[in-house]
Amino acid sequence: MSVEENLSAQIEKLNITNGNSTNTCSKRTGLVYDDRMTKHVNIWDKNHSEVPERISRPYKKHIEYGLLERCYQIPSRSATEEELMTFHSSAHINKMKSTKDMKSRELFQLGEEYDSIYMSEVQNAVAIVRPPGHHADVDFAMGYCYFNNVAIAAKIAQRKWGMNRILIVDWDIHHGNGTQSLFESDPSVLYFSIHEYHHGKFYPSSTIANHDVVGTGKGQGFNVNVPWNKFHMGDADYLAVFQHVLLPIAHEFDPDIVLVSAGFDSARGDPKGLCDVSPEGYCQLTNMLMGLAGGKVVVILEGGYNLTSVEESMCSCTSTLLGDPCPRLDGNQVPCKSAMESIRDVVNSHKPFWKALEFVNIVIPVEDDKTHDCTSGKKENENTSDLEDNGDANQSHEKHPDKLHS
């Protein structure tokens, strides 16, 4: 029963029927926000990164830009224990319920009318919610994450609404280890994560985030990790991943719905991610995803710790979902050498599983003045809060999830 959980359940319901809706609502995009989610605070650290303003500011910016009035606002409610148990163990749920400060982090997220007409009234949706969820595993909390919103949303979409194939796109700068753990052997869910890796030293500091971790058993090929090994990856690098890897695989997979773990710590200006994706870049990425699943796309906030970057990036995604044209990208849009090396490795790891990649050959560019330098700015060997010693990779983070990073 957590804020994130509720959110994910509602999201699934937001729209996402299989195209036979009466669609009496004139607004194509649903929006989930509940001010009660700002009650989740860190009572020990006033300077903690995961703050209520991470959702209140994007919400206010949606009002300022005239986006909110164009959206269908979906009421929220608490997730049920049954919904949480689609992913989490009863032991984990009980532990969260018994936490002494639980009342200050109450879980309010999904729609009050869970089984209502809302399911057939919007084409796509955006969820401005917190805390994030993609690190949370079946039986432990981790990295600011207590319950795994998106994983629960995917499970409910399948069980209650007949969504047979789910695509989860995770562009949070950290690997979604919790989401991967649930679906790694499940061929009905394609999990696609683009994240900083730095040869296993970037949080959560584990080799399970590398390109050669492709899933297990029947799920082989349905777990796609794109690991960045340099800082400052930008629009060109992310677009190259979509064009060369994600879209070919996704079209072959043919999902019924796309759930986006939208962490904006990959955005320009974020102090943890040190990447360079612009608001216009997120427009382009969202627009590309709208070509899948008949446009059934749900964008769910995960991480992101520069408040200006989060609010501008989230508004860009909403604007795109509403059908506004994407602005042109500025500057050089040639991916850097390190990005193309990562893409090559991913393609080679997944060629055995996807016909769409059979004839994809990645040419590694020679970096010159026409290629952006993804090593510029902060040096890779400079210490950051999320570039950690790999020796911590296997430690349990259950007791102090707020000390880590989503």
Catalytic residues: 135
The rounded distance, in Å, linking the Cα atoms of 51 and 274 is 19
Could you tell me which of 55, 33, 133 has the C-alpha nearest to residue 310?
55
Determine phi and psi for 371, rounding to 5 degrees. Answer: -115, 130
Of 64, 49, 67, nearest to 273 by C-alpha is 49
Among the listed residues 179, 184, 191, the one whose alpha carbon sits nearest the alpha carbon of residue 143: 179
In whole angstroms, give the CA distance from residue 347 to residue 175: 18
Query: 3-class SS at 65?
Result: coil
Question: DSSP readout, 114-135?
Answer: TTSGGGGT-SEEEE---S--TT
Q: Which residues contact 86 (CB under 8 A, 6 or more apart)?
A: 152, 155, 156, 159
Q: For residue 216, which phi and psi values (nearest 5 degrees)? A: -130, 155
For residues 31 and 121, the answer to whether their CB atoms sit within 8 Å is: no
C-alpha distances out from residue 276 to 31, 279, 306, 330, 389, Å: 26, 10, 12, 12, 24
Q: How far apart are CA 367 and CA 390, in angstroms?
A: 29
Which residues, including other chains, have CB under 8 Å from residue 44's CB and lie 6 or more apart? 402
360: number of Cβ within 10 Å? 16
Phi-psi region of 174 (alpha: psi -120 to 50; beta: other; left: phi over 0): beta
Output the CA–CA distances (angstroms, integers) from residue 71 to 26, 30, 105, 383, in the order listed: 9, 5, 27, 42
